[in-house]
Amino acid sequence: MTTETKKDPILVVIQLTGGNDYVNTVVPYTSSTYYDNRSNLGVAPEDVLPIDAEFGLNPALAPLKRLYDDGKVAIINGIGYPNPNRSHFRSMDIWHTCEPDKIGDEGWLGRVIRDLDPKHENVLKGVNFGRGLPRSMSLTGVPVASVAMLEAYGILTGIQGEPDRGEALDLFAKMYRPMIGSGPVMEYIGQTGLDALKGADILKTAPTLYNSNVEYADSPIGRNLQGIAKVLLSGFETQVFYTMHGGYDTHANQGPFHPKLLGDLSQAISDFYDDLREHEASDNVLMFVFTEFGRRVKDNGSGTDHGAGGVAFAVGDPVKGGMHSEYPSLLPADLVEGDLEFNIDFRGVYGTIVEKWLGLDPVPVVGGHFEQLEFV
Amino acid sequence: MTLQTIGNPPSVKGHYEYHSVIGALAGSGPGFSGPVSLDFGPDGNLYVASRGNPNQHEAVRVTRCTKDGEYLGQMPGWGEGEGEFIWITDIAFNAEGKLFATEEHTHRINVYDPTDFSFLYTFGEHGSGEGQLDRPSGIAFDSCNNVLVVDSLNNRVQQYSVDGKFLGQWGEFGDGEGQFNMPWDIFIDGDDNVFVTDWRNDRVQKLTRDGQVLMVFGGSGDGEGQFNRPTGIATDADGDIYVCDWMNDRVQVFDAQAKYKDTLIGHGGVSKWAQDYLDANPEIEHKLKLAEQNIEPKRRFYRPVSVKVDTDNKVYVADCYRHRVQIYQKV
Amino acid sequence: MTTIATDKALVAHLLRRAGFGATFQEIDKFAEMGYEETVDYLLHPERVPDIDEDLLERYYIDWKESRNIEGALVETVYRFNARAGVRPMQEKIALFWHHVFATGLAKVLHEKTLLNQIDMFRDYGLGSYRDLLVHLAKDPAMIFWLDNNVNHKGAINENWGRELLELFSMGIGMDGKDNYTENDVQEVARAFTGWTMDDDNTASIPFGKTPWLFKFDADDHDYGEKTVLGETGNFTGEDVIDIIAKQPSTARFICRHLYNFFVADEVQVPSWRDTAPLDPEAIRIMEDAYFESNYDIRSILKVVFNSEFFKNARFQKVKSPAEVVCGTMHIVGSYKFPDQRFFEEALECRYMNQDLLNPPSVEGWHTGKEWIDSGSLVERINYVADELSDTTKPGVRAMVDNLLSRQSEFTPEGLIEGCLELLGYFELKDKTRSDLIELVYRAGEIRTDNPEDRMFAEQLMLRTLKMIGATREYQFA
């Protein structure tokens, strides 16, 4: 889809927390090695949703498959980084900061937001849906709104009902106005408080501006993506959205858990896409779905443990659909300590998004030059 | 010595032999997560309640497995709603085969049908009045199918009919006979003798079901017959009394007259579920083996919380911080 | 202000810095005890009976063993909160050293081992700084965090050696000059070869985690001659720490850290080489105490707390999130007994940008105004405002009952003054105060002599507490 009106590119990042099981997400359904390793948890060949002669999607991803068939989904195979770290914490940190060799404290999306809005003109350039700020968006001096629930977002939300709440916010605005002679720290806090109030004032209008015929399936990720849709469609010029979907650490009882997660995720993505589409807003939105690592090839009887190489997805109208990068070999000789070997560095994938989609210089954002792909 | 090679080492005085182990840490499915209570179901299977951890709600559950450690299923149910639980404390089956569970976050007793884990009914509410509960803990049944519940923060035991009607209560705060300080568990033998672990008094009280004291034993310390916060309690067919001596990380055995008899310290190796995990993660097994000095402590009990003896004289101990059930055979 | 009120205000100030604030009852108690006596009391936590460990284990079965970072975080906040009323200084000094010797689970991945480090700070944090450094060098969480387990004889890894000098003792420079050379870094690293750990397994499956332990590998230790900071010898790690501890730059660096944490916000650490201390005279007094006491932290703090520069530094620090959360919990009296809901509340620190046990890097958290951004400010305000106005919390109930039973009639000024006093003799700028008075004034007469009016007065007082919690001034301690 092309459009003549120039709209700012928007990026929506969905983090799958816990380590999504790659080989049960994109299933190599003709590989006997796969079924040998997944004697308890293999997805049967007749159940997968084939995308080609070798690979198919987990049946719970049917809504994503629909988008795939429309050319809206890029599957980025074998994504990872050198010397993979199998800890959630550390590995997620590496994905957030692009610093595999030291503990970094700047998030890559923080740098993106800084470069998109170098003068900090828009307090809502970056919006996270969830409690607390993910390190990926954290950068000193870059304001990012973190919204647990849009309807409940704001200052002094504990005060309900008018006129009390209105009075309290008026008083708050008064108390935070510049105060001569109070010193730089008081002044800074005052300005920050007024910025927060401004951001909250803008954000609270989003639910009233939003109107849609799309009904989202009820799930945590569905609620967050609908929240993103509300803000995105309200014209606040937010360009970077972030949210998380947790529970992918399927050491045990993966059989029922994993398909439920994939089902919720793909339904939410599909609802979100339809919502944007209904509002003719899908052409400038790129979704990027990632996880900190894939899981071990061999199952442990009831679940799978932490592994390395994984899969990411790019979804949306701007995407060149299909399989990108190589699916790593499952043959025992090709595994690294029982895990898939990565073949595309995630920083190259970030770089692709930063350069080809957001139009920024990727080098300072991802910390170097990395091989890019052609999915945008 | 590696984790795998273990014979049947005896208990301290030799009256028991280590038999086997079930379990490994798991947030769901085969495994436990801080097991705090176990009991035998009418189906002959083992049921284990896991306390879980606060950001892994599905880990709070009751697991069903065979006594040989074959996983059969589980009952999750985290929540504050009817039939749900957040701080599960004790489970027990009554004569009709119903599964009772105490829940000390909402101060209730939940009752389930164990065949399909369907919720049947609940009773109890927060408070200190008659029939009200403040952190219910141990639960047991007398020969009339009445329910006795340790009402821990009210320092008493309350009696209910099987459907939750208040019948009576006994006990109060203190360290005299018949007084309690945050009691934990309760066990009732075939003759309706009631055993209560008087947790913060570091002792056990044996009473009639009406609360008449028959015997008191224990005292603070780590010597033979002394306790550091006793938790689970049970007796066997011979009348021997088993007490989980929690912060001393051991189970002490006494004869029916409360004379010290033996101590179980834990000899757990790798269970079948643990081996499945290690097979998929050889580098973890390698690391476990490398840390030789860490192996012995890993065999030992670490905060045992619940004990029961089956009809074959096998002693089952919920080894809470090691997420497993260790089993001994009485010789 | 009367003398008594001044005493109370000073005691409240002391408790905010040497602890997590104080309830109005505690302020009365300590004011009666006397300021200097209170300083002594606080600096000797070992003289006060400790909290009941068995209760923690009974209810927080899973947190005690801390199989995940949330559990570890909660365990930490639990102890801060539980000891805030009995041994506050023990917790505050642990938090201080956690700021300075910032070690994070992002890499360490073994909650129990890191909690042991925090416990080590509790046990030794008020003692000799030299001994503390030895404990730190032997701390397995630190060894792993800074790669000393791969610092080998003949193949050094200088990470620990460098940070020991740069971040944990001397600082990169002082008075515009460098404190050490690159050669010193490498020689220090050599002295710590073989200081390693027994085990680096981080898997909690199948048995739960077993804490790592320090191990000295004599075969991997470089016994050769080293030259460190101008001295030459076959130094061991302990010898090197002896040399470091006696450097004037170490005294300066540690005193500035203590000043920044306990007295007033300084510039951030990386500027210390070229920026003079905020109060050079105060630092000089502290440095003297450092050497006179043979590096005893307790002795330095005693000098600090009894000094005029400390007493004059009220509200000169932006509260850290741990101080906001634990200070609020303490004043409102939450969780005197273990409760499941504690878990969610402990995570508030994280939402306010202080993820305890997971500092952003080995440099620790940037403090002062850098705690505040629009996201964290909203979290702080909403949390504090809700807690301070929740009458189901015993501390709030007590404040309401205390104030409203004093008089039958209140002026707006009187109500606000009473609230500020109960919260620990807080002070508002004139403009803020007049804005607040206006709100209270609009509500009309404030009486307490009949139930209906009393109810109204209570609601008004709760709103006032809430708005005080939302002020800029309340962000300071």
B6 in a structural domain: no
In this complex, do B55 and C68 lie within 8 Å of one another by their Cβ atoms? yes
Contact B277, A303 (CB under 8 A): no
Rounded mean pLDDT, C288-313? 98
Which chain A residues are Cβ-neighbours of B282 within 8 angstroms?
338
Phi, psi of A217 (to 5 degrees): -65, 145
In this predicted structure, what is the pLDDT of residue C319? Answer: 98
Task: Say how many Å lie between the first and final Cα of chain C, rounded.
Answer: 20
C105 in a structural domain: no
Rounded mean pLDDT, B225-252? 98
Whole-prediction pTM value? 0.89
Which one has a higher pLDDT value, C279 or A40? Answer: C279
C452 in a structural domain: yes
Contact B202, B218 (CB under 8 A): yes
In this predicted structure, what is the pLDDT of residue C192? Answer: 98
Check residue B63 and report its DSSP letter: E
Domain covering A10-152+213-366 in this structure, CATH number: 3.40.720
Rounded mean pLDDT, A320-325? 97
Which chain B residues are Cβ-neighbours of C62 within 8 angstroms?
33-34, 51-54
Task: Kindly tell me the burial class for residue A52, based on how many C-beta atoms sit within 10 Å of its own C-beta (0-12, 13-18, 19 or more).
Answer: exposed
Half-sphere exposure in the Cβ direction for C180 (13 Å, CA): 28
Nearest residue of C to residue A124, measured between CA atoms: C374
In this predicted structure, what is the pLDDT of residue A3? Answer: 44
C407 in a structural domain: yes
Return the number of other C-beta atoms located less than 10 Å from residue C370's C-beta: 16
Best residue of A131, A251, A335 to probe chain B, by most B CBs closer than 10 Å: A251
Nearest residue of C to residue A306, measured between CA atoms: C203
Helix (H/G/I), strand (E/B), else coil: B92 = strand
Contact A80, A310 (CB under 8 A): yes
User: Of A253, A257, A296, which is closest to B280 when you measure between CB atoms?
Assistant: A296
Could you identify the residue written with the tokens 């409940």?
A152
In this predicted structure, what is the pLDDT of residue C71? Answer: 81
Rounded mean pLDDT, A191-219? 91
pLDDT in tens, B288-311: 776 666 677 889 999 999 999 999
Peptide bond into C206 cis (omega under 30): yes
B65 in a structural domain: yes
Could you identify the residue written with the tokens 């007024």?
A194
**pLDDT exceeds cutoff 80 at C5:** no
**What average pLDDT does the structure give for chain B?**
94
- Between A and B, how many residue pairs show a Cβ–Cβ distance under 8 A? 47
Which two three-digit tokens encode residue A123? 């307090």
- The CA distance from B186 to B102, in Å, is 12
Which chain C residues are Cβ-neighbours of A199 within 8 angstroms?
374
User: Of B58, B71, B277, which is closest to A300 when you measure between CB atoms?
Assistant: B277
Peptide bond into A364 cis (omega under 30): no
B10 in a structural domain: no
Task: Kindly write down the DSSP assignment for every residue of B165-218, as one continuous string.
Answer: -EEEEE-EESSSTTEESS---EEE-TT--EEEEEGGGTEEEEE-TT--EEEEEE
C18 in a structural domain: yes
The dihedral over CA atoms of C254, C358, A309, B286, expressed in degrees to the nearest 10, equals 80
Contact C67, C59 (CB under 8 A): no
In this complex, do A168 and C463 lie within 8 Å of one another by their Cβ atoms? yes
* Of C395, C401, C432, nearest in space to C416 by CA: C432
Helix (H/G/I), strand (E/B), else coil: C174 = strand
**pLDDT exceeds cutoff 50 at A2:** no
- The CA distance from C459 to C452, in Å, is 11
Helix (H/G/I), strand (E/B), else coil: C30 = helix
Share of chain A above pLDDT 90, in %: 73
Task: Say how many Å lie between the first and final Cα of chain A, rounded.
Answer: 13
Restricting to B residues 107-166, those with a Cβ less than 8 Å away from any Cβ of C are none
Rounded mean pLDDT, A186-193? 93
Chains that touch B (3 or more CB pairs under 8 A): A, C
Helix (H/G/I), strand (E/B), else coil: C467 = helix
* Of B52, B149, B65, B64, nearest in space to B114 by CA: B64
Which two three-digit tokens encode residue C42? 């606080």
Per DSSP (E only), the strands in B104-162 are 108-113, 118-123, 136-141, 147-151, 156-160
In this complex, do B53 and C71 lie within 8 Å of one another by their Cβ atoms? yes
B290 in a structural domain: yes
Helix (H/G/I), strand (E/B), else coil: B318 = strand
pLDDT in tens, B129-143: 999 999 999 999 999
Of A132-136, B225-229, C89-93, give the lowest mean pLDDT range.
Answer: A132-136
Residue ranges making up the domain that contains C430 = 394-475
Cβ–Cβ contact B22 with C under 8 A: no
In this complex, do C207 and B303 lie within 8 Å of one another by their Cβ atoms? no
Share of chain C above pLDDT 70, in %: 99
- The CA distance from B63 to B99, in Å, is 12
In this predicted structure, what is the pLDDT of residue B293? Answer: 61
Contact A304, A21 (CB under 8 A): yes
C309 in a structural domain: no
- The CA distance from A227 to A233, in Å, is 10
User: Of B27, B279, B282, which is closest to A252 when you measure between CB atoms?
Assistant: B27
Which chain C residues are Cβ-neighbours of A195 within 8 angstroms?
374
User: Of A167, A176, A192, which is closest to C373 when you measure between CB atoms?
Assistant: A192
CA distances from A112 to A126, A351, A375, A376, C275 (A): 9, 11, 19, 17, 32
Of A124-133, A354-363, B113-122, B227-236, give the lowest mean pLDDT range.
Answer: A124-133
Q: Which residues of A293-307 are buried (b: 16+ CB within 10 A; e: fewer)?
A: bbbbbbbbbbbbbbb
pLDDT in tens, C23-65: 999 999 999 999 999 999 999 999 999 998 898 889 887 666 7
Which two three-digit tokens encode residue B247? 């912060």
B4 in a structural domain: no
The count of domains in chain B is 1
Nearest residue of A to residue B74, measured between CA atoms: A253
Orientation angle between helical segments C321-332 and C394-404, nearest 10 degrees: 60
Which chain C residues are Cβ-neighbours of B26 within 8 angstroms?
205
**pLDDT exceeds cutoff 80 at A4:** no
Listed by start position, the domains of chain A span: 10-152+213-366, 154-203
Which one has a higher pLDDT value, C470 or A303? Answer: C470
- Closest chain A C-alpha to B24 CA, distance in angstroms: 11
User: Of A93, A185, A199, which is closest to C106 when you measure between CB atoms?
Assistant: A93
Nearest residue of B to residue A249, measured between CA atoms: B27
- Closest chain C C-alpha to B295 CA, distance in angstroms: 10
Amino acid, res. B147: V
C183 in a structural domain: no
Task: Kindly write down the DSSP assignment for every residue of C392-429, as one continuous string.
Answer: TSHHHHHHHHHHHTT-SEE-HHHHHHHHHHHTTS----
Return the number of other C-beta atoms located less than 10 Å from residue C155's C-beta: 9
In this complex, do C207 and B24 lie within 8 Å of one another by their Cβ atoms? yes
Rounded mean pLDDT, C105-112? 86
Rounded mean pLDDT, C347-366? 90
In this predicted structure, what is the pLDDT of residue B291? Answer: 64
Rounded mean pLDDT, A280-307? 93
In this complex, do C57 and B273 lie within 8 Å of one another by their Cβ atoms? no
In this complex, do A302 and B282 lie within 8 Å of one another by their Cβ atoms? no
User: Helical H runs in A212-305?
Assistant: 220-232, 254-278
Which chain B residues are Cβ-neighbours of C61 within 8 angstroms?
34, 36, 51, 303, 320-321
- The CA distance from C454 to A56, in Å, is 70
**Confidence class of residue B3 from pLDDT cuts 50, 70 and 90?**
low
- Closest chain C C-alpha to B5 CA, distance in angstroms: 17
Nearest residue of B to residue C209, measured between CA atoms: B322
CATH classification at residue B321: 2.120.10.30
In this complex, do A87 and C202 lie within 8 Å of one another by their Cβ atoms? yes
Percent helix / strand / coil, chain B, rounded to 5: 10, 45, 45
- Closest chain A C-alpha to C382 CA, distance in angstroms: 5
Cβ–Cβ contact B26 with A under 8 A: yes
C408 in a structural domain: yes
In this complex, do B33 and C62 lie within 8 Å of one another by their Cβ atoms? yes
In this predicted structure, what is the pLDDT of residue B290? Answer: 65
Beta strands C214-216 and A26-28 are unpaired
- The CA distance from B91 to A138, in Å, is 46
- The CA distance from B18 to B7, in Å, is 8
Restricting to A residues 191-210, those with a Cβ less than 8 Å away from any Cβ of C are 192-193, 195-196, 199-200
Per the DSSP assignment, residues forming a β-bridge with B220 are: B227
Cβ–Cβ contact B78 with C under 8 A: no
Chains that touch A (3 or more CB pairs under 8 A): B, C
Share of chain B above pLDDT 90, in %: 86
pLDDT in tens, A23-74: 999 999 999 999 999 998 999 999 999 999 999 999 999 999 999 999 999 9
Cβ–Cβ contact A133 with C under 8 A: yes
* Of A145, A330, A310, nearest in space to A236 by CA: A145
* Of B26, B19, B37, nearest in space to B59 by CA: B26
Which one has a higher pLDDT value, B269 or B318? Answer: B318
In this complex, do A298 and B280 lie within 8 Å of one another by their Cβ atoms? yes
In this predicted structure, what is the pLDDT of residue C1? Answer: 45
Phi, psi of B233 (to 5 degrees): -145, 145
Which one has a higher pLDDT value, A262 or A132? Answer: A262
Best residue of C209, C354, C373 to probe chain A, by most A CBs closer than 10 Å: C373
Could you identify the residue written with the tokens 């040989």?
B68
- The CA distance from B297 to B291, in Å, is 11
In this predicted structure, what is the pLDDT of residue A98? Answer: 96
Cβ-based neighbours of A245, under 8 Å, separated by 6 or more: A14, A15, A16, A17, A220, A221, A224, A261, A264, A265
In this predicted structure, what is the pLDDT of residue C424? Answer: 97
- Between A and C, how many residue pairs show a Cβ–Cβ distance under 8 A? 115
The count of domains in chain C is 2
Nearest residue of C to residue A132, measured between CA atoms: C351
In this complex, do B281 and A337 lie within 8 Å of one another by their Cβ atoms? no
Nearest residue of A to residue B281, measured between CA atoms: A305
User: Of C70, C200, C205, which is closest to B54 when you measure between CB atoms?
Assistant: C70
Nearest residue of A to residue B31, measured between CA atoms: A252
Residue ranges making up the domain that contains B85 = 16-330
User: Of C70, C198, C210, which is closest to B55 when you measure between CB atoms?
Assistant: C70
B8 in a structural domain: no
* Of C299, C269, C91, C248, nearest in space to C166 by CA: C269
In this predicted structure, what is the pLDDT of residue B292? Answer: 61
In this complex, do B51 and C207 lie within 8 Å of one another by their Cβ atoms? no
